[in-house]
């Protein structure tokens, strides 16, 4: 009897560990000129209503920058953050948060660090063109 209870404890412990990290199988943040593309792949979406895309400049305080509705089945997602601030910090951190309809957290990715390619030339050229309109 003692062996059976030890076995059940080991199986239960493994099940709890296997359950952690069950929504996301991949996530990435890729810089481009004046934007960052955040991509992720889900394994399952049971009970998930939406995904919140969060951004931070210090990897501590995150704020929501975007939202994607869950498809209901495992799938691929992407979000383009086009609001990268030119005069702000050059390093950004992103997280993707899976939430239920009641806004409760299901799972969150780890921080995705990215150094965006912010083009000052594009912004300057746009300002020069606007002067002659």
Domain enclosing residue 64, as ranges: 23-131
Beta bridge partners of 114: 92
- The CATH number given to whatever domain includes residue 124 is 2.60.40.10
Which tens digits make up the pLDDT trace of 29-86? 998 877 899 999 999 998 999 999 999 989 999 999 999 999 988 999 999 999 886 5
Global confidence as pTM: 0.70
Number of domains into which the chain is organized:
1
SS percent in the chain: helix, strand, coil, step 5? 25, 40, 35
In the prediction, which pLDDT does 83 show? 84
CB under 8 A, 24+ apart: contacts of 101-107? 101/49, 106/23, 106/47, 106/48, 107/21, 107/22, 107/23, 107/24
Looking at per-residue pLDDT, the higher value among 106 and 15 belongs to 106
- Asked if the structure places residue 54 within a domain, the reply is yes
41: three-class secondary structure by DSSP: strand
Q: In 20-133, which ranges are continuous DSSP H helix? A: 120-131
């Amino acid at each position: 009897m003692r062996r059976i209870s030890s076995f059940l404890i080991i199986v239960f412990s493994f099940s709890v560990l296997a359950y952690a990290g069950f929504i996301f199988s991949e996530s990435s943040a890729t810089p481009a000129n004046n934007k960052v593309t955040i991509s992720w792949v889900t394994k399952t979406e049971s009970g998930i209503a939406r995904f919140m895309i969060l951004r931070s400049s210090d990897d501590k305080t995150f704020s929501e920058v975007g939202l994607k509705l869950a498809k209901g089945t495992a799938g691929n997602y992407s979000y383009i953050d086009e609001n990268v601030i030119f005069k702000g910090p050059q390093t950004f951190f992103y997280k993707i948060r899976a939430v239920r309809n009641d806004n409760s957290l299901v799972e969150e990715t780890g921080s995705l660090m990215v150094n965006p390619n912010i083009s000052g030339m594009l912004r300057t050229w746009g300002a020069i063109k606007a002067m002659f309109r």
